[in-house]
Structure 1
């Protein structure tokens, strides 16, 4: 077999040095694009899980509040219901619960009050160390649920 001479020999030697580099470049490029994409997908799922938990907690807290006999008992039951709903989805116990009533803000269980419950919490974004910026990065979530007091109260008719 004849060996190439001159310029042809240089081109053949250059091709031999680059053999397999396309596979390495493809793997590195794939990793550089796949890792951030994977992080984004996982983060979206975490935020969706948190949004579902906060929404369920607001609904459960509102129902527990209006079923209570008075405002004090309603506040305790609403906190317990919200804590349980958030724990079902694996959210931290750190949440904020606010209850407001109209048209009787001092006595929510009087007459035909409308109760609004707001539950706020945070979801930590996964796979990010706190060394990147103080505390662990998180996403704030809140949900509101409004319902009338008389809707879920039990009525006893006298005969």
Structure 2
């Protein structure tokens, strides 16, 4: 039996609980989506940097080509070129030696959404995503 002052209180409780549950859920989905974009950006930047590097005409132009490819990947995934970096290493003296390989490590810093800067000492404000890729240099490449 309904008491006189309680009409409509169920609606208020449901709306309050929905907001209480939905806001953290929406934040979680947004954060996971941004982290996934970071993972894709790191993986694609490592792969495309390696491909651009080994297809360069000489060792002098290879680093510029690789960095340009990485910057394009970072920007296309919604990051600035300052948030991502690539490191290229090779086992041989000249990176583009036929039959060798080039190892690329790409790292992107993914800032967490809605974390204020003054909490940087107490909470992490970004997550680092790293990916590595090894690209072979064509064995029949002319020097």
Same fold (TM over 0.5): yes
| Equivalent pair of 2:49/2:69 in contact (CA under 8 Å) | yes
2: CA distance, partners of 1:46 / 1:21: 38
> Matches of 1:150 and 1:119 in 2, distance apart?
22
SS of residue matched to 2:73: helix
For 2:80, the equivalent position in structure 1 comes to 92
**Superposed CA RMSD:** 2.4
Is the 1:57–1:82 contact (alpha carbons within 8 Å) kept by the matching residues of 2?
Answer: yes
- The question of whether the paired residues in 2 share the 8 Å contact of 1:125 and 1:139 is answered with yes
Alignment-derived partner of residue 120 in structure 1:
107
Shift of 1:32: 0.6
Distance 1:20 1:131, change over 3 A: farther
Q: Which of 64, 89, 94 in structure 2 is aligned with 1:76? A: 64
After TM superposition, the score normalised by the length of structure 1 is 0.78
CA contact (8 A) 2:45 2:74 kept: yes
Any gaps of 5 or more consecutive residues in structure 1? 1-10
- The DSSP-based 3-state class of the residue aligned with 1:29 is helix
Distance of 1:152 and 1:32 partners within structure 2: 63
Question: How far did 1:149 drift?
Answer: 0.8
Q: Compare the two structures and name the one with the higher helix fraction.
A: 1
Q: CA shift at 1:116, angstroms?
A: 0.7
Pair 1:25–1:132, CA change in 2 (3 A): farther
TM-score where L is the length of structure 2: 0.85
Count of residue pairs brought into register by the alignment: 141
State the Cα distance separating 1:122 from its structure 2 match: 1.1
Secondary structure at the aligned position of 1:16 is classed as coil
Displaced runs of 4 or more, over 3 A: 131-136
Gaps of 5+ in 2: none
Residue 98 of structure 2 is aligned to residue 108 of structure 1: no
Q: Conserved in 2, the CA contact under 8 Å of 1:67 and 1:152? A: no
